[in-house]
Amino acid sequence: MILSVEKINTFYGDSHILFDVDLTIAEGEVVSLLGRNGAGKTTTLRSIMGLTPPRAGRVRWLDEEVQRLKPHEIARKGVGFVPEDRRIFSRLSVEENLEIGAFKLEGPSAWTLERIYGLFPKLEQLKAHKGNELSGGEQQMLAIARALMGAPRLVLLDEPSEGLAPAIVKDVGEMIGTLRDEGIAVLLVEQNTRFACRLSDRVYIIDNGRVRFGGTVAELEADEELKSRYLAV
Ligand X SMILES: Nc1ncnc2c1ncn2[C@@H]1O[C@H](COP(=O)(O)OP(=O)(O)OP(=O)(O)O)[C@@H](O)[C@H]1O
Footprint on this chain of other proteins (rule: CB under 8 A): 49, 51, 70-72, 75-76, 81, 83, 87, 89-92, 96, 99-101, 103-104, 146-147, 150
CB of 147 to other proteins, least distance (A): 8
Options 21, 25, 29, 40; binder of ligand X; rule CB under 6 A: 40
CB of 100 to other proteins, least distance (A): 5
Rounded to an integer, what distance in angstroms lies between the CA atom of residue 19 and that of residue 208? 8
Which residues have CB under 8 Å from 22's CB, separation 6+?
Answer: 5, 6, 7, 211, 214
Among 5, 18, 37, 11, which Cα is nearest to 156's? 5
Which residues have CB under 8 Å from 195's CB, separation 6+?
Answer: 161, 169, 173
Q: Which is nearer to other proteins, 96 or 124 (CB)?
A: 96
181 binds ligand X (CB under 6 A): no
Q: Which is nearer to other proteins, 99 or 171 (CB)?
A: 99
Rounded to an integer, what distance in angstroms lies between the CA atom of residue 9 and that of residue 33? 17
193 binds Mg ion (CB under 5 A): no
Query: Which stretch in 9-17, 20-28, 112-120, 135-143 sits in contact with ligand X by CB under 6 A?
Result: 9-17
Residue 187 contacts residue 147 (beta carbons within 8 Å): no
